[in-house]
Chains A and B, each alone.
Chain A
Amino acid sequence: MAQNGKSVVLKIKRQASPDSNPYWEEFSLRWKPGMNVISAMMDIAANPVTRDGKPSRPITYDSNCLEEVCGSCAMRINGRARMACSALIDKLDQPVTLEPLSKFPVIRDLAVDRSVLFENLKRVKAWVPIDGTYDLGSGPRQTTRQQEQAYPLSRCISCCCCMEVCPQFNDKTNFVGAATIAQVRLFNTHPTGGALKEDRLHALMGDGGIQECGYAQNCVEACPKDIPLTDAISEVSGQVMKQAIKDIFTR
């Protein structure tokens, strides 16, 4: 743990472009109270010199809200997939190692391309099919219990940590990953969203579908928002199974 007057050492895996070789650089920074991984990288940008005095370049990384709600700054910190903004330096062992998420194409340094999740959300029609934005009165009444079930699922920040830590999320299985399945549960449960339930369940059948889940339960451990991902997977698995049986008799 760093103390006042001491320094903070960061070991960062860097990569200039998607097809170039990665390399490591170390930076030594003056410790400040309340420092987190993002503010440490801001300090590097203001004085980009490595630990051994070589001029370097600011780190490329994704970030936006710095309040753990936009989902931008996911990376591997000391080997663990998590959000950089809420990674407080005082709570990390040093040197603090920063690496890009390993299951997504690197753009540069710590920035990766996570557009696969947004594509998956299109595939499962993760929306409520409203008739239009004109005035049609209030929405369906819902109990507090329904709201309390939906709200945690709706707090998914699309950080992709659950996919990074999932052993089944890889090139071989094409598994959609927990985040998308949780959204299927959310929209299938909604009184109007349920209209597209069958389409969503069909999208989760076959190649890369929900059956690829190996129940490793890493996802729920890694989720920074404590979303009940494994519950969602069990529930949606059941829905997919029922749909598959129903399909046999109706198709």
Chain B
Amino acid sequence: MANPKIIVVGGGLAGLSASIKIAEAGGNVDLFSVVPVKRSHSVCAQGGINAAKNLKGEGDTTWQHFDDTIYGGDFLANQPPVKDMCEAAPGIIDLLDRMGVPFNRTPEGLLDFRRFGGTLYHRTAFAGATTGQQLLYALDEQVRRYESEGRVSKFETWEFLSAVLDSQGVCRGICALDLRSMEVRTFPADAVIMATGGIGAIFGKSTNSVVCTGSAQSALYQQGAHYANGEFIQVHPTSIPGDDKLRLMSESARGEGGRVWVPKTAGDKRDPKSIPESERWYFLEEWYPKYGNLVPRDVATRAIHKVVYEHGLGIDGQPMVYLDLTHIDRATLDRKLEGILEIYEKFVGDDPRDTPMKIFPGMHYTMGGLWVDFRQATSIPGIYACGECEYSYHGANRLGANSLVSCIYGGFVAGPQAVAYAKNQAKSSTAANGAFDSERKRQQEINARLMSSEGSENPFRIWRELGEIMTKDVTVIRYNAALAQTDEKIVELLERYQRINLSDKELWANTSFVFTRQLYNMLQLARVIAQGAARRNESRGAHYKPEFPERDDVNFLKTTKAYFAPDADEPRFEFEPVDTSLIKPRPRKY
């Protein structure tokens, strides 16, 4: 097949990277996205992108980046692909630079680098504090160029519903929903790449965008794709609590010198600026003298939890601590952090250049995701995955500024791999006969059932209950009894889902109908997360159980693999050994 047709689902950094590589290799791309791709969640990434360019005379190396990433991830990641990613990272930065990303510069006109968590090197390239936005735009522009050349066709405001699998279980295309006309259609392809991002909505409020529901990866999991390490959820130490979402306050605030503290006296009501140094507790600097405020996120998050809930020292008795930038001069702050300071100013109303910010940990990222092999192939033949929706680069905890590089690198691997796969496929296999029609009918029946459901349950209320219990019991601190209750609660919510009543039954741009479909997939995936957490009786990276406070390499230096058991309508689990062939696991102590 000379010019294979590849479907890419998702138009964030990973999906766009894959699309560019496919188009460059002569393939044709059908790019599906629930939003215009320029509005994808990647725009929310703030602080930067890691690459060991060693432009600060520190002797940084790609091996050091690799070691920091593996150690930061508490040795749960398979090592060979992580090594390859770290080696590719400097070239990726060069490419982005050539594409016109307005990275901050040194006086000599070279790329500037800042520090980030979990490393002692200046390894993070950045464009102000809106790096994700700038990277996404650069890739979006290149894809627009291919679009105008006819190599990429965009299907924006289309929602992935399922893969079309033939009688051999091989993927032949996808089934998708037009979010305006509500039409269900199937699309054939020689291979499919999933790049559908995060799952924040399963936790109700998170730092993720509205579209990050995990619905697509859950749908695939229910079709037989394996889902790995679902229990590893990153809770970012510094988010701004809000009524509608938790807004991220980038780690770059600490990378540029921001300090986390609380008043030493509980209930201290003074204006923070009037509290003298001697009466402030810089607990991260005291507990972790080497890394200070730049310990990895799981470590910082647990420290903040401890100070608030065990020491009772949250500001005004609330679950909040100070993140202080007021000792840094305004010009530097504006040059390097303006984008995030503006967010705090607009949404909280205080100027963080004058007043310490009030922050608290918030659900941010899933290290787990669709299981893939070292070529980004999922367990379903013909389906690849890249970006946050797959599990392979971050182990038990992701280092800050590693997500952007993993998205782009993953896309750069998945694209050519999908093309190579497609070229080896025989055209129009008879096994695909009827598969498209039957998948479309299956999806139309689900829609019809939902539209005619005459119950009394409001989907948004079920969602709120899911988010509350997942946040309470399946984030920072996990107890087996609470995890068991969470799973029972999700089963109850799934039962109530059967009695849902849609207040909107229109067949045009019906957003609550679409959300209700996503909700079902969220509930199914929530069980993978909660049950995965229950099974892992150890503490590793972001997964922390007070009942099992130590890492247990003998029993759990393993990838959790969940697969859907249709007969039981619930997940089954197996464990897979981790490839630690390059760096011998050692205790993780910052």
Residues of chain A having any CB pair with chain B under 8 Å: 16-17, 32-36, 38-39, 42, 45-48, 55-58, 60-72, 85-86, 88, 107-108, 111, 114-115, 118, 121-122, 125-130, 132-133, 135-144, 146-148, 150-151, 154-155, 157-158, 187, 190, 192-193
Contact = CB atoms under 8 A, between A and B. Distances in A.
Contacts of A88: 347, 349
A70 B506 contact: no
Contacts, number: 195
A65 B242 contact: no
A133 B209 contact: no
Given A39-B243, A69-B43, A122-B147, 4 more contacts: A39-B244, A64-B210, A139-B100, A147-B102
B587 interface: no
A86 B97 CA distance: 31
Most buried by B among A61, A72, A154, A157: A154
B314 to A, nearest CB: 17
A71 B504 contact: no
8 contacts: A38-B244, A39-B243, A46-B464, A56-B503, A118-B144, A132-B24, A133-B24, A187-B100
A42 B108 CA distance: 49
A137 B102 contact: no
B94 A139 contact: yes
Given A57-B506, A192-B100, A69 B130 contact: yes
Contacts of B35: 62, 64, 70, 72
Given A33-B243, A66-B245, A133-B412, A138 B43 contact: no
A67 B100 CA distance: 24
Contact of B104 (A130, A141, A147): A147
Interface stretch (B56-64, B261-269, B319-327, B508-516): B508-516
Contact of B242 (A34, A62, A72, A133): A34
A157 to B, nearest CB: 8
Contacts of B43: 65, 69-70, 157
Contacts of A58: 460, 503-504, 511-512
Contacts of A139: 94, 97-100
Contacts of A127: 100, 141-142, 144-145
Interface string B491-515: 0000000000001101011111000
Contact of B102 (A114, A141, A150): A150
A193 B100 contact: yes
A143 B105 contact: yes
A39 B104 CA distance: 35
A158 B38 contact: yes
A155 B109 contact: no
* Residue among B99, B349, B506 with most chain A CB within 10 A: B99
B127 A151 contact: yes
Contacts of B127: 151, 154
B110 interface: yes
A35 B503 contact: no
Given A16-B508, A86-B346, A151-B127, A36 B243 contact: yes
A39 B511 CA distance: 16
B144 A71 contact: no
B44 A69 contact: yes
Contacts of A67: 44, 245, 247-248, 343, 347
A93 B91 CA distance: 52
B423 interface: no
A115 B460 contact: no
Contact of B107 (A32, A61, A144, A158): A144
Given A127-B145, A133-B412, A66 B346 contact: no
B360 interface: no
B80 interface: no
A146 to B, nearest CB: 8
Nearest 8 pairs of A and B residues by beta carbon = A139-B97, A39-B244, A127-B141, A141-B109, A108-B509, A57-B504, A128-B100, A46-B460
Interface hub of A85, A121, A133 (most chain B Cβ within 10 A): A133
B39 interface: yes
B588 interface: no
A154 B511 contact: no
Given A58-B504, A64-B210, A147 B133 contact: no
A46 B243 CA distance: 14
